[in-house]
Structure 1
Amino acid sequence: MNTTISRRAAVAALATAVLAGAATPAMAAAPAMAASSAKAASSAQDRPELRKAMNAFVDAGFTGIQLRVRDQQGDWAAGAGVRKLGSAAKPPADGSFWAGSITKTFTATMVLQLVAEGRIGLDSPAADYLPGYGLDERITVRMLLRHTSGIFNYTGEYNPDGTMDEPGIPANGDEWVPNRFNSYKPEELVRLALSKKPRFEPGTQWSYSNTNYTVALLLIENVTGHSYATELKRRITGPLGLRGTLAAGNRTTALPGPHTHGYYQYKDRVIDLSHQNLSLLTGAGDLISTTQDLATFFSALNGGKLLPAPLLAEMRTAIPTSIPRQDYGLGIWAQDLGPGCGTVYQHNGSPPHGYGALMYSSPDGSKTLTASVTWLDSATRGSAKDFLTLVDALVKQEFCDTPTGQTRPDNPGSAF
């Protein structure tokens, strides 16, 4: 759904800036692990330093945050702020939320699993698996996952300063709100993108594009003969026991179960965004998840339980982007947090407005930070202007030896 860019440019990153299909014994045991981790979360010692970093979001005007950290001290989860406007109830520690572009990591993982099975060639033309779309034969599967294909972003192309370069389907702002229940098919999104002039020659530059991952969704479906949702359940959510993760798909959906509410100020109304249609971002940003599910998934991925070691290494082989100290691999960011911190792997996300999702891991998967943040969004941005600075402080609190988080960094978070 970056750098010192505005949130609109981060939506330019929404719109700028996963095993061979069989469960391993560790994956088969995941449901029990998930249950035990929930118990551990309730009994883990308190983490005042994390509570302080959480409360900084509330103090800055965000309505709520739910956070989960898994590290050597155990599994710790908590919420701060309120669940919804007009209520005193706190956010649930493991409520559901829109995961936004975190979806891309799930999509990339499934594509790489198909590579492991020999059903897809990572450096083969994507057109080999999707005939009839007119894809440039020079565009490889790797280029799709790495955002180097040059294919036009169907939600619009933005300049580095956040201004619109070439419009697409509105995915944010007042123009999007009246159309938030519109239904889109992935085929029509891809055909729209391919009707536009490419941003650059395949493989010559990097530019974050939702289209790449909607093409990847179609590739998964065409190669397997099954829906994206079916493959997601068979390959990831089922084996790992991720009961709170699902693809919203081509329908209007309300967040299930306990959840926090994100909002948008539209003219003289406050719009509750816990109910919308995310088919505009199919395969690229339409997952619903929880902090527990994301922690389990990302720990398993980085711990080598979802992909063979050579393909995990391919996934994490990242190239420079337009964002300082953040390189992009295949559906995953490698972020250098600076001295005393080292590198973390991550992918954050946001649907069009009111929600932000975080997913971070140490290289070995032993330490994870997952979170969801909600706020009252508006055309004037409101509290969202501080989002990247606050995320940086929170992440450094967990992953750095001497966290400070006192100044705005030159790499304050990832693309959405």
Structure 2
Amino acid sequence: MATYALPRALVTLALAGTIAATAATPVTAAPRAVSHRSAHSATQDALDAITRAGTPGALARVDRANDVWHGTSGVADLRTGRARLPQDQFRAGSLTKPFVATVLLQLAAEPEYGLSIDDTVDKWLPGVVRGNGNDGRLITLRQLLQHTSGLYDYIKDDGFRAKFTGMEFFAHRYDGATPSELVRIGLAHRPLFAPGAGWSYSNTNYILAGLVVESVTGNTYATEVERRIITPLGLRGTTFPGTSPSVPGPHGQHYSTLYEDGPGTRVHDVTDFNPSVSGASGEIISTARDLNVFMRSLVRGRLLPPAQQKEMFAGRDIGDGRSYGLGLRSQTLKACGVKVWGHSSEIPGSLTRTAATADGQHVITLNRNSDWGDHALEQAAVEAEFCGPRHH
């Protein structure tokens, strides 16, 4: 679940009467895990700015040649004051998408499966996409992966938002949903445009992409991602939890305002919930280290043959110096002109951003354990890392 508008920059920190702090008095930053301070001081300052603005805790990891840097700010747990740790696992939401896109492209490179990314959705999911002007016979797999299908984003459905991101969350946090149910929510709405005629980010696309992986291989997308990516790359902190509501391993709490707004807005602990409501569009749990390893391997061409690599990185212009390939977004940073590839995510209680240079020599993942705040602060951290004095 990754594309909500978040209007708040600051909120009052209060959780069901038990967690109390104010935006005017931000959580005191815990001791930082910082090395190479002079090389990454601007990035650390950007993390501190995130927590000063009201996020309980933020962390980042940078991988460069002969240089690994960890930065943390704030706390992982408002009750105990435990610091964020470099090895913390967190819900990484739409970072699921480049994993799923990579698997589909791998399948397209393996002749025994008979799959092309220009196949129609209907070839692999006959009759699934129908109704209200939606027609899987006219939509290709490429259009799913690049968000040019025109399909409505099920997460924007008012009923879905109320149950899983609004104040009904606590009554429904363990309900979950099947992929078919999520697709039906999206198809209850008319398409935004004819296939290929525009661009609009839609999580419905990747729920369908996950179903295509299952149709082609006979295995779930999670099984294929684990077999093809997680195990070969040694991503020990990365899991697809399915319907399990908990975050395994060391982790901070995940905090949300559940889309309340205004004075006295409360923060709620939303760490536990059934992530099947995100499925192939956003259920992944990972670590900053694992996401850096994955993104570096991906941009360096270690996961795809050259033809599929070229397809993945052929971006569609989406404005403001940004483009969207197949499961990956690129951005030319305004501060210095450096182009980075990666993805961002928003899921209840967690915001994540991963960005890498095209040669994979410089990669950052940052996470904050909240789902509100000014996204310019995350952008500032990326700009600080890639455009600091050392990198001009």
- Partner residue, 1:392: 379
1:45 is displaced (CA, Å) by 3.1
Matching of residue 190 in structure 1 with residue 187 in structure 2: no
Structure 1 residue aligned with 2:80, among 76, 83, 87? Answer: 87
Structure 1 unaligned regions, length at least 5: 10-41, 157-165, 378-383, 405-416
Of the structure 1 ranges 269-278 and 170-179, higher mean CA displacement relative to structure 2 is found in: 170-179
- Partner residue, 1:131: 126
Matching of residue 258 in structure 1 with residue 246 in structure 2: no
Q: 5 Å matches for 1:335-346? A: 335-338=331-334, 340-346=336-342
Matching of residue 147 in structure 1 with residue 147 in structure 2: yes
Matching of residue 225 in structure 1 with residue 218 in structure 2: yes
Structure 1 residue aligned with 2:45, among 27, 52, 58? Answer: 52
Task: State the percentage of identical aligned residues.
Answer: 36
TM-score (norm 2): 0.83
Distance in 2 of aligned mates of 1:180 and 1:363: 39
RMSD (Å) for aligned C-alpha atoms: 2.5
Matching of residue 96 in structure 1 with residue 89 in structure 2: yes
- Partner residue, 2:12: none
Equivalent residue letter for 1:116: A
SS of 2:373's equivalent in the other structure is helix
Q: 5 Å matches for 1:312-391? A: 312-321=309-318, 323-338=319-334, 340-351=336-347, 353-375=348-370, 384-386=372-374, 388-391=375-378
TM-score (norm 1): 0.79
Equivalent residue letter for 2:137: E
Task: String of CA shifts for 1:277-330, please: whole Å, max 9, x gaps.
Answer: 111111001100000100000000001100112211211111122x52221111
Distance in 1 of aligned mates of 2:81 and 2:165: 29
Matching of residue 243 in structure 1 with residue 230 in structure 2: no
Equivalent residue letter for 2:234: G
1:270 is displaced (CA, Å) by 4.8
1:179 is displaced (CA, Å) by 2.1
Matching of residue 303 in structure 1 with residue 300 in structure 2: yes
Distance in 2 of aligned mates of 1:193 and 1:303: 35
Distance in 2 of aligned mates of 1:2 and 1:172: 11
1:78 is displaced (CA, Å) by 3.0
Structure 1 residues 403 and 335, CA gap change in structure 2 (3 angstroms): farther
Matching of residue 280 in structure 1 with residue 291 in structure 2: no
CA contact (8 A) 1:44 1:74 kept: no
SS of 1:254's equivalent in the other structure is coil
SS of 2:79's equivalent in the other structure is coil
Equivalent residue letter for 2:54: G
1:8 is displaced (CA, Å) by 6.3
Of the structure 1 ranges 119-128 and 334-343, higher mean CA displacement relative to structure 2 is found in: 334-343
Equivalent residue letter for 1:288: I
Distance in 1 of aligned mates of 2:97 and 2:298: 13
Distance in 2 of aligned mates of 1:297 and 1:236: 8
Q: 5 Å matches for 1:97-116? A: 97-116=90-109
1:402 is displaced (CA, Å) by 4.7
Distance in 2 of aligned mates of 1:287 and 1:402: 34
Distance in 2 of aligned mates of 1:58 and 1:401: 21
CA contact (8 A) 2:57 2:369 kept: yes
SS of 2:354's equivalent in the other structure is strand
Distance in 2 of aligned mates of 1:153 and 1:43: 39
CA contact (8 A) 1:335 1:343 kept: yes
- Partner residue, 2:20: none
Distance in 1 of aligned mates of 2:199 and 2:7: 19
- Partner residue, 2:27: none
Task: String of CA shifts for 1:42-78, please: whole Å, max 9, x gaps.
Answer: 9963343332222111211210011100114511113
CA contact (8 A) 1:152 1:196 kept: yes
Of the structure 1 ranges 140-149 and 191-200, higher mean CA displacement relative to structure 2 is found in: 191-200
Equivalent residue letter for 1:262: H
Of the structure 1 ranges 176-185 and 136-145, higher mean CA displacement relative to structure 2 is found in: 176-185
- Partner residue, 2:6: 7
Structure 2 unaligned regions, length at least 5: 9-32
